[in-house]
Amino acid sequence: MKKKWSGLFYILMLVGLLAIIFWIVRKGNILQNEILKVPVSEIKNTTSESSFVVFLNSLKDSISDPLSVLLLQIIVIIAFARIFGFLFKKIGQPAVIGEIVAGIILGPSVVGMLFPQVSWFLFSPNSLGGLQFLSQIGLILFMFIIGMELDLKAISKQAFNAVVISHASIIIPYTLGMALAYFIYKDYAPVGISFLSFALFMGIAMSITAFPVLARILQEKGLTKSPLGAIALTCAAADDLTAWCILAAVIALVKSGSSTSVFYTIGFTIVYLVFMLKIVRPFLEKLALVYKHNSKKQTSIIAFLFVVLILSSYLTSIIGIHALFGAFVAGVIMPASFSFRQIVIDKIEDVSIILLLPLFFVITGLRTQIGLLNECYLWVTFCWIILVAVAGKFGGSAIAARVVGQSWKNSFSLGVLMNTRGLMQLIVLNIGFDLGILSAQIFAMMVLMALVTTFMTGPALDFINWAMPEKIAK
C-alpha cells in the first residue's frame, strides 16, 4: 500500500512540476518578445529552420573544445599503448617497449606520414599543451615511485661490488659518448650549443640504465631472487642514483651557461639535499609511525606526502636542475618501512604507469621523426651510436663484473642487463631536447638506440643461457 501511494506521489509531482516549468517558459518568451520587440512567429520560424544547423555547429564546437580533444587523445593513446604492450609481451618483450613503439607509430613517423589529416586532428601542435602537462605529472609520479623502490639496504650490503660495476658501467660509456660527441658535434649539434654541453649530455645519454624495465625483465624471467638478479638490481639502483646526480650537475651547467655559476647551483643543490635528508626524512619517519597506529590520520598523511613530493620537485626546478630529480629524491627519503612504501606505491602506481606514462611515450613519439634519417650517412651515424652504446655499457659492466669475481656467464648477463635503457633513456633524451642540446636528428637516433638496446636484452640473455648452460653437479 505504501509503495502504491509513493508511486502516485511521484507521478503527480512530475506532472505538476513539468506543468509549472512549461508555464514559466511561456511567460518568459512573452516577456522576451516584449523587450526585443520581435514577433513570436518570426522567432519560431528561424529556430525551426536552423535547428539542425545549430546542432551541427554546436557539435563541431564541442568536438574541437580543448577538453574534448584532450580526452580523445588520452583514449587513443591508452588504447594503442595497451594493444602494443600486449603484442610485445606475446613475443617475449616487456610491455613498455610496445608502449614506446605505439608512441612512435602515433607520431609523424607513421600516422603523420600515412594519414596527415588524422594526425593533425588528433595531435595538432596547438593541442599538445595539456597532453605534455599531464605527461610531466606522470613522470614526476613515476620518478617518485622509482625513488621509493630503491633498496638502499641492499645497495649497502653489496656496496663494493655494486659500486665498482655500476660506476664502471657509467664512466666507460660516458667517456665513449663524449668521444663520439667530438666526431659528430660539427654536423649534428644544434646552433649555439657549446661542445661541453653537447658532449656531457651525449655521455649521460650513453650511460643510463632503465631500472624499472630491468626489474620487469628479471621478474618475467624469474631471476629477481637469484644471485644474478640481486646483483643486477643493486647495480642498476646504484647506477640510477649516480646517473641522476650527474645529470643534475650537467643540467645545472647547461642552464647556468658558465662553469663558474654552476657552482652556485651545485651549492644550493647540496643545501637542498641536506634539508631533505636531515630534516624532512626524520620527520617522515615519525609520520610513518603515526600512519601505522592512527587510521583516522592516514588520509592527511598521504596528502602531506604529496605536498613533500611537489615541494621537492618545485625546489629542484627553481634551483636550476630538473623537477624529476626532486621527485626522485622525495621517493628516496620516504620512510624505510617496506609496508609503508608499498602502500604509497599502490596508491599512485596504476595512475602513473597505466594512465599518464603512455602520454609521455606519445609526446616522445611525436618528437621522433624517423623520416629525418633519409640519407645513408645518417644511418651510418646511427650504427656508430649503437656500437658505442653497446660497447660502453655492455663491455664496461661485463669487464667490471668479471674483475670483482663474477663468473663469465654472470658477467656477460650483467653486461646485457645493464645495457637496458628503455624509459629512463627517453626521460633523459626529452630533457636534452627541451633544453635544446639535442637536434631532431640526434634525438631520433638516440630514441631508436634506446629501443634497440632494450629490445635485445631478452634475446641476448636467452642466447647466453643457451651458449653457457649451467653445469649440473654430479
| pLDDT-above-70 percentage for the chain | 88
Residue 26 lies in a domain: no
pLDDT tens, position by position, 199-211? 988 998 898 887 7
184 in Cβ contact with 256 (< 8 Å): no
Higher pLDDT, 154 or 89: 89
* 3 state SS of 225: coil
Half-sphere exposure of 88 (CA within 13 A, CB side): 22
In a domain, 474, yes or no: no
Tell me: pLDDT of 257 over 70: no
Residue 473 pLDDT: 45
Which domain covers residue 181, as residue numbers? 83-467
Rounded mean pLDDT, 153-158: 62
Can you tell me the distance from the alpha carbon of 451 to that of 192, in angstroms, rounded to the nearest whole number? Answer: 29
pLDDT of residue 68: 86
**pLDDT surpassing 90 at residue 88:** no
C-alpha span between 139 and 441 (Å, rounded): 24
Q: What angle do CA 64, 65, 69 make, to 5 degrees?
A: 70
Q: What is the pLDDT of residue 27?
A: 82
Residue bearing cell 651557461: 257
C-alpha cell read off for 469 = 648452460
| Pick from 422, 356, 308, 355: nearest CA to 138 | 356
Calpha distance 304→278 (Å, rounded): 18
Separation in Å, CA 402 to CA 63, 164, 208, 395, 419: 60, 11, 21, 11, 16
Which 3 state secondary structure label does DSSP give 189? coil
Mean pLDDT of the chain: 82
168-199 residue pLDDT tens: 888 999 999 999 999 999 989 988 888 988 99
Higher pLDDT, 357 or 42: 357
Top-confidence residue, 341 or 428: 428
The answer as to whether 156 is a domain residue is yes
Q: 243 in a domain, yes or no? A: yes
Number of domains in the chain: 1
Confirm whether 184 is domain-assigned.
Answer: yes
Mean pLDDT for 133-144 is 86
Name the pTM for this structure: 0.76
| pLDDT in the model for residue 167 | 84
pLDDT at residue 49 is higher than 60: no
Domain membership of residue 7 (yes or no) is no
Quote the CA–CA distance of 26 and 185 in Å, as a whole number: 75
Q: Percent of the chain at pLDDT above 90?
A: 15
* Amino acid (1-letter code) at residue 247: L
A 10 A CB-CB count for 394 gives 23
Q: How far apart are alpha carbons 217 and 456 in whole angstroms?
A: 12
- Among residues 89, 76, 85, which one has the least CA distance to residue 122? 76
| CATH number of the domain encompassing residue 446 | 1.20.1530.20
Instruction: Determine whether 286 is exposed, middle or buried from the number of CB atoms within 10 Å of its CB (0-12, 13-18, 19+).
Output: exposed
- The answer to whether residue 425 sits within a structural domain is yes
| Position 259 confidence tier, pLDDT thresholds 50, 70, 90 | low
* Tens digit of each residue's pLDDT (9 = 90 or more) over 56-69: 777 777 777 888 88
**CB within 8 A of 237, min separation 6: which ones?**
150, 151, 154, 155, 162, 211
Q: What is the pLDDT of residue 185?
A: 93
With cut-offs at 50, 70 and 90, classify the pLDDT of residue 474. very low
* For residues 102-107, average pLDDT: 87
Q: Is residue 33 part of a domain?
A: no
